[in-house]
């Protein structure tokens, strides 16, 4: 397909596609003449991934280029490549002081050991979780994090669903895209569903009927 057709199929403007080509986010097409090239479905899949990295994952051009380089590195296995994509979705915001953070990091790592989760002790998600654990304890709600193992175990089936969605993709670009989109938007979906479940349990516990918005 020509670049105009690629633009129409992907929903990405021609100037933006040319920008991605210059920045090394998209491989060059097969030259068919002066200033002309042919593109294929691989370019279309890569464009979807680039959009996911930039628009959903919120990466900078430089960071997205690093992810693309990892995907194109034949020496990396699928697990490591998907780890790179997963880290793009990691959010780490400073919620607590240094003392609380240090204690919380130790608590999260101890939880990993108890559950036998095969996750690196310096994984970005460890520190992201620790920030939240430390903040909750600072606010005097330690009873929530006292059940950290229970909370973690409830997420194992969700992780299974996530991996099933990822592995259903037939190519590494599609798998990486699923990781980025699934983590960023999936986190929002899980939060919303959790609120709905809390509303249901609250109604059951306190005998309240749902309020209609109509």
User: What's the pLDDT at 96?
Assistant: 83
Q: Which pLDDT value is given to residue 36?
A: 85
Give the pLDDT band of residue 108 (cuts 50, 70, 90): very high
What's the pLDDT band for 130 if we cut at 50, 70, 90?
very high
pLDDT of residue 74: 64
Q: How confident is the model at residue 208 (pLDDT cuts 50, 70, 90)?
A: low
- In this predicted structure, the answer to whether residue 188 has a pLDDT above a threshold of 80 is yes
d(CA 46, CA 187): 23
Question: What pLDDT, on a 0 to 100 scale, did the predictor assign at position 93?
Answer: 64
The domains of the chain are located at: 57-206
Confidence of residue 92 (pLDDT cuts 50, 70, 90): low
State CA 55 to chain mean position distance: 12
Report the chain's mean pLDDT, rounded to a whole number.
86
Q: Assign 186 a pLDDT band (cuts: 50, 70, 90).
A: confident
pTM for this model (two decimals) = 0.68
């Amino acid at each position: 397909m020509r670049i105009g057709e690629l633009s129409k199929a992907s929903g990405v403007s021609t100037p933006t596609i040319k920008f991605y080509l210059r920045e090394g986010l998209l491989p060059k097409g097969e030259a068919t003449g002066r200033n002309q090239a042919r593109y294929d479905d691989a370019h279309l899949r890569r464009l979807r991934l680039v959009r996911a990295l930039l628009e959903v994952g919120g990466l900078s051009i430089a960071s997205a280029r690093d992810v693309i380089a990892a995907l194109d590195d034949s020496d990396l296995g699928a697990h490591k490549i998907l780890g790179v994509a997963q880290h793009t979705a990691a959010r780490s915001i400073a919620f607590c002081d240094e003392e609380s953070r240090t204690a919380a990091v130790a608590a999260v790592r101890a939880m990993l050991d108890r559950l036998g989760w095969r996750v690196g002790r310096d994984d970005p998600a460890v520190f992201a979780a620790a920030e939240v654990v430390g903040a909750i304890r600072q606010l005097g709600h330690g009873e929530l994090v006292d059940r950290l193992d229970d909370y973690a175990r409830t997420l194992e089936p969700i992780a299974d669903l996530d991996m099933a969605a990822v592995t259903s993709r037939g190519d590494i670009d599609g798998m990486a895209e699923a990781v980025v989109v699934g983590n960023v938007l999936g986190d929002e979906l899980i939060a919303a569903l959790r609120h709905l479940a809390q509303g249901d349990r609250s109604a059951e516990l306190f005998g309240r009927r749902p309020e209609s918005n109509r």
